[in-house]
Amino acid sequence: MRFVDEATLAATLSALPVERPRFVASGNAGPPFELLRIAADAVATFRLFMLNAPTGIPVRPGIALETPFVGAGMRDQPELHYIPARLSLVPNLFAGSRPPDVVLVHTSMPYDGSVSMGCEVNILPAAIEAVRSRGGLVVAQVNPNMPYTYGDGVLGLNEVDLALEVDRPLPNPAYGASNATTEEIGARVSTLIPDSATLQLGIGAIPDAVVAALHDRRGLRIWSEMFSDGVLELDRTGQLDRGHQLVASFCFGSRAVYEFVHRNPQVRLLRTERTNDPAVISRNPRMVSINSALQVDLFCQANASRRPSLGRASRIYSGFGGQTDFVVGAMHSLGGQAIIALPSWHQRADVSTIVPLVDGPVTSFQQTHIVSEQGGAAVWGASQAQQARSLIDQVAHPRVREELTEEARALGLVSR
């Protein structure tokens, strides 16, 4: 690792021997904003590959945006190239159709002869392996605010070519506060979670509401694509099984989350190929996968990636993410459950989230439970008619139940 100033880094990037290089950069809570700014100023045209890129990344003509999971910084951009892929398989892209020329990572300060990718491990180990095999560059934004986490994100100093020291706070997630609807959903989902369950939780008001409702559960374990502040409360109250490490591929939350994971041997942040491998997920006993969706239809197909079209071509909102991986893994776990939790009504669009048929590509299907603030439907093992009936009667908003019943009859799902 050689520390350089901005001018030296800019000169190095501008001299890359590739006409249109591909940069792979940390996303989620770890975007290396300063490195991205320097790259955008120094390189006229390049491809930028990031997962869940936040606002603030460079967006201009000449920068082609590539991602399998669209974040706010790339959403609706004209230069967006969305790549449909299960998250567990995204690392394979770097050895195949999307080889990187430069990897930009956001790391901790050096410690014990190494740096850590901190809160964002995810797909980056595979990207670094691919770029090093091609003779490309690994550049680190070294930040005293980035925690040092153990696992697959630890890099020897000789694995990083250039480094720029930057003192910048890490971003915190912005999502809606809990309300009566999310609290009711959380309470209903919590009744499905037994003691000693292994949890996969996402980010947002619903996962936090689920955690808040688990006040009497004990021996819980975490094997998740990511975790946020809710897990800290489980740790504080002694509800986590201390005999098992907390495993994820990235974390995203308040400053308290980053302080919690810093040099914490109880936490392991691993590469996506392991955390999201359905076969590995299935080895966790009583694996409970909790995900959300934009729509669920009467065939129990969930759309979590595209905005409802409302008569127009649907637009990509996010992507498959880890939902496909964890639904499959949880379904194959001994005593496992795959739960889709969502409000029955989309307030902003003023439409039902339970629909006759999703109007875009399906993200996942064949879960065990669909839950809203109205109630829950146990769909695994039920006939298609029973699934449709329980979704209408127990999950959908009352104002659309009659309409959904008519649609179900037209689809041949129910006879009454």
Residues identified as active-site: 225
Distance CA 259, CA 146 (A): 9
Distances (CA, A) of 415 to 296, 300, 396: 21, 18, 18
Please check whether residue 171 is in contact with residue 258, taking contact to mean a CB–CB distance below 8 angstroms: no
Please check whether residue 116 is in contact with residue 108, taking contact to mean a CB–CB distance below 8 angstroms: yes
Distance CA 93, CA 98 (A): 5
Please check whether residue 131 is in contact with residue 102, taking contact to mean a CB–CB distance below 8 angstroms: yes
Spell out a b/e string for 323-343, using b for 16 or more CB atoms within 10 Å of the CB, else e.
bbbbbbbbbebeebbbbbbbb
Residue entry with tokens 């697959």 = 152
Assigned token pair, 354: 């339970």
Closest Cα partner for 68 from 125, 132, 123?
Answer: 123
Q: Is 300 helix (H, G, I), strand (E, B) or coil?
A: coil
Q: What is the largest CA-CA distance in the chain?
A: 73
DSSP state letter for 77: -
Distance CA 273, CA 127 (A): 12
